[in-house]
Each structure stands twice: as C-alpha cells, then as structure tokens.
C-alpha cells in the first residue's frame, strides 16, 4: 500500500487503503471514472475536475486504485 492510512479488507479478501476507496468515491461524485490499464489506470471524465493535488494523490495510491479497479471489473 502507498501510505500508512487505515487498511480495509474487502469481502474478496483484497486489502487496500481507506484513502484509495475515498479517492474513487470522490472522483465518482465529480463525474469521473477510473479504468484499469496494464500500467495503472486512466481517468475518464471532465479533466476540469482534476486539480494538480488530485494528480499527486492518484499517483501516490496508484497500486491500490488499480487493484480496486481490476476487482470491480471482475465483479461486473
């Protein structure tokens, strides 16, 4: 995990940082969607919704975010 934030263990057994979940919820509320790629993920939605600090947070939590996105795609 990227930082020392609280860890959440999902029903699937995947353990990720609470911060990563909060990031996904925040961007979803802004009308953005994150999609897993081979190298991480990409943001789909209005680029105007992303600030420089957001980009830093996305990079910092990249691994947890990608794991969540991959899990989400397998459940759909």
Residue with tokens 């990563």: 20
Count the domains in the chain: 1
Question: Has residue 1 been placed in a domain?
Answer: no
Cβ-in-10-Å burial (0-12, 13-18, 19+) of 19 comes to buried
The one-digit pLDDT tens for each residue of the chain (76 residues) are 454 579 999 999 999 999 999 999 999 999 999 999 988 899 999 888 888 999 999 999 999 999 999 999 888 7
The pTM assigned to this predicted structure is 0.83
Residue 2: inside a domain:
no
Residue 18 within any structural domain of the chain: yes
Residue 46 lies in a domain: yes
Write down the pLDDT at residue 1: 46
Coil vs helix vs strand at 16:
strand
């Amino acid at each position: 995990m990227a930082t020392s934030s609280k860890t959440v263990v999902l029903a699937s057994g995947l353990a990720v940082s609470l911060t990563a979940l909060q990031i996904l919820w925040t961007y979803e509320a802004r009308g953005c969607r994150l999609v897993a790629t081979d190298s991480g993920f990409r943001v789909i939605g209005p680029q105007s919704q992303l600030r420089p600090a957001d980009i830093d947070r996305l990079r910092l939590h990249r691994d947890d975010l990608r794991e969540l996105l991959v899990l989400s795609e397998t459940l759909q």
